[in-house]
Amino acid sequence: MDIASLLGVILGIGMVLFGIIQNGGVPALLNFLDAPSAIITIGGSLSAVLCSNKLSGFIAGIKSFALPFKEKSVDPGETINKIIELSNVSRKEGLLALEEAAGSIDDEFLKKGIMLVVDGTDAELVRGILETDMLSMEERHKKTISFWEFWGEQGPAWGMIGTLIGLINMLKNLEDSSTIGPNMAVALVTTFYGSLIANWLCAPFANKLKANNELELTLKTLIIEGLLSIQAGENPRVIEEKLKSFLAPDKREALSPEGGGEE
């Protein structure tokens, strides 16, 4: 569970509820509940998203709601240590010995790369296969990110549509001036809902998915460079220094000395 995402969502709606209750008490919450407004804003914005996607893509986007809350088990430092271990094995026992080492690796991308190297695949072909795999992953991620970004764009737009509908209905019935205030409030609720969709839900979700995507791309690039270095027979210490360049300076010293390359 990604605690940051969960806390952000809870604190965000908590601040909104606090502001409403602080000014008008708990009964004031009822002022912000309006079924037609919710239908126009949520239903309308989702219908626009549906129209811009294939049905399978739309369903996949809805299912991705849980993704920002999942903790990504991505640790570049741990992966570097594993690659250095593999380079030491290769240096001592040869590339074929990596096949046995691959059996204990959970990362399917790393395992796939190891097997390509063990099979004697040309280095450029190894790079091409793994980069194609990586690009395919990135394209899938971009589609999910695009789903949330587009929904975030549509939320306020449909909120404004709902507000315009409310204003038109209000202006058509100006005989009773006492109803202008309540009707105006109801009309603005749709704008409120649209802003919530965009700023409380969609924008944070899209940004979290972008961050996760960048982290995975960095990890996969690191793996590709590490495996090609092993295949080229580079010194484990050189490989370690090369891969550490993918990390922020403050993260480089945290690498386990046990995973260091041997001279």
* Residue-wise pLDDT tens digits, 136-185: 999 999 999 999 999 999 999 999 999 999 898 888 877 777 778 777 88
Query: 46 in a domain, yes or no?
Result: yes
* Residue-wise pLDDT tens digits, 194-223: 999 999 999 999 999 999 999 999 999 999
Query: 129 in a domain, yes or no?
Result: no
Query: 139 in a domain, yes or no?
Result: yes
The answer to whether the predicted template modeling score (pTM) of the entire model surpasses 0.75 is: yes
Neighbour-count burial for 136-168, b at 16+ CB within 10 Å, e otherwise: eeeeebeebbbbbbbbbbbbbebbebbbeebee
| C-alpha 9 chain-centroid distance | 15
Tell me the backbone φ, ψ of residue 25, rounded to 5 degrees: 75, 175
Give pLDDT, residue 24: 83
- Residue 222: how many other CB atoms lie within 10 Å: 21
Query: 86 in a domain, yes or no?
Result: no
Query: Is the model's pLDDT at 125 over the cut of 80?
Result: yes
Q: Which domain holds residue 35?
A: 3-73+134-201
Query: 15 in a domain, yes or no?
Result: yes
Give pLDDT, residue 263: 46
What torsion, rounded to 10 degrees, do the Cα atoms 94, 100, 101, 103 define?
A: 160
Give pLDDT, residue 179: 74
How many domains does the chain contain in total? 1
Query: Is the model's pLDDT at 74 over the cut of 80?
Result: no
Query: 223 in a domain, yes or no?
Result: no
Query: 94 in a domain, yes or no?
Result: no
Query: Is the model's pLDDT at 237 over the cut of 80?
Result: yes
Q: What percent of the chain has pLDDT over 70?
A: 96
Give pLDDT, residue 115: 94
* Residue-wise pLDDT tens digits, 18-41: 999 998 899 999 989 999 999 999
Place of tokens 């961050």: 211
Q: Band of the pLDDT at 256, cuts 50, 70, 90? A: low
Query: 54 in a domain, yes or no?
Result: yes
Give pLDDT, residue 176: 74
